[in-house]
Amino acid sequence: MPKIHELASVLADQIAAGEVVERPASVVKELVENAVDANSKQIDITVEEAGLQRISVVDDGDGIADEDTEMAFKRHATSKITDRKDLFRIKSLGFRGEALPSIASVADVTLTTSTGGVGTLIHNVGGIIKEHTAAAARKGTTVTVKDLFGNVPARLKYLKSPATELARITDIVNRLALSYPDVAFSLVHNGRELTRTAGRGDLQQVIAGIYGVQSARKMVAINGSNPDFKVTGFVSLPELTRASRQYISLLLNGRYIHNFQLSKALIAGYGSKLMVGRYPLAVLDIKMDPLLVDVNVHPTKQEVRISQEPELTQLIQETVFKRLSTENLIPDVYNEL
């Protein structure tokens, strides 16, 4: 009798879910990223009890054709890449085909979707499809997640206080809103609106909505490039600082990433203008050839490997330094804010 056997797919999904779906904020991130990938212009997120009771993401994107809806819940099933060469030029936020099966394996998920005509409703509980019916739906997709981690109590115990989990949700929604100024986002928790952006494509207006008008007025546009990279965005004047680095958002080809070296380069651009222990606010949007970046390093894709990172850090530091040098510090016009 052989001792090695393949795991049942529901169990395999639950194991994989541990990497993709760590906490309620990871569910929000994955669902919103799917909405962005589907070309949505408006994405509304509703959360109850820090996501443990209910998370719902409504988008007005492309929708999923009925024949594809069950496949969307299969592991490694995706519409975003097909072959090896696609893997090296990823333009979408998703591509691993793991989010929906992972979330469904640890929750009760209802998806309603329509590509324009008659829509589809799928009810998936713990990785098993319980219902697949026609549903009246407007174009777009709604995913509602209930009873998150109800079947993995160990995961529930590991979560932090509701306030902390909610802060993480707000943080990820805000970063996505900063990444996509032309998409209108809203986040409502227990009936209270926490974030709303207009989707008019104006990054400074999004910054004002998230960090406040006073802060946005103290941020200046930056713009720098070399043959491989283009860096744009806003950085705070040295007088506007925070006690942590978390107000620095780095976006690489539309993806929010963590990268210590790039944050360090941004801070280095301030030279001696920052007090010890103080950090700027910034949104840096980096554009580069997808061939020069590997986003397939970690399941959540927030870590990436960039070839020619030293050239990029130098560009960031120089761009910020030049912009903040005294002769360039004539404030921009902020009349619209």
Per CB under 5 A, residues contacting Mg ion are 34, 94, 99
* DSSP codes of every residue in 62-82: ----GGGTTGGGSTT--SS--
Spatial separation of the C-alpha atoms in residues 280 and 316, rounded to whole Å: 14
Q: Which is nearer to ligand ADP, 78 or 205 (CB)?
A: 78
Q: How far is the CB of 243 from Mg ion (least distance, A)?
A: 34
Single-letter amino acid, residue 332: D
Element (H, E) at 233: strand 229-236
Question: Shortest gap between Cβ of 184 and ligand ADP (angstroms)?
Answer: 15
69-88: b (≥16 Cβ within 10 Å) or e? beebbebeebbebeeeeeee
Candidates 28-36, 83-91, 186-194, 245-253; binding stretch for ligand ADP (CB under 6 A): 28-36
Query: Could you say which of 27, 29, 51, 61 contacts ligand ADP (CB under 6 A)?
Result: 61
122 touches ligand ADP by CB under 6 A: no
DSSP letter, residue 275: P
Tokens 């974030």 correspond to 195
Token code pair at residue 193: 């609106």
Please identify the residue of the shown chain whose CB is closest to the bound ligand ADP. 94
Q: What is the 3-state secondary structure (H, E, C) of 116-174?
A: CCCEEEEEEECCEEEEEEEECCCCEEEEEEECCCCCCHHHHHHCCCHHHHHHHHHHHHH
Q: How far is the CB of 103 from ligand ADP (least distance, A)?
A: 8
The reply to whether 72 sits near ligand ADP by the rule CB under 6 A is: yes
Verify binding: residue 28, ligand ADP, rule CB under 6 A: no
Compare residues 297 and 329 and give the one whose CB is closer to ligand ADP. 297
Q: Is 64 in the site for ligand ADP (CB under 6 A)?
A: yes
Q: How far is the CB of 53 from ligand ADP (least distance, A)?
A: 21
Q: What is the largest CA-CA distance in the chain?
A: 79
**Distance in angstroms (rounded) separating the CA atoms of residues 202 and 178:** 10
* Tokens at 9, concatenated: 């797919």
- Which among Mg ion, ligand ADP, none contacts residue 78 (Cβ within 5 to 8 A by kind)? ligand ADP
Stretch of 88-96, 152-160, 182-190, 304-312 contacting ligand ADP, by CB under 6 A: 88-96
Task: Select the span of 98-106, 258-266, 267-275, 307-315 touching ligand ADP (CB under 6 A).
Answer: 98-106
Binding residues vs ligand ADP (CB under 6 A)? 30, 34-35, 38, 59, 61-64, 72, 78-80, 94-100, 141
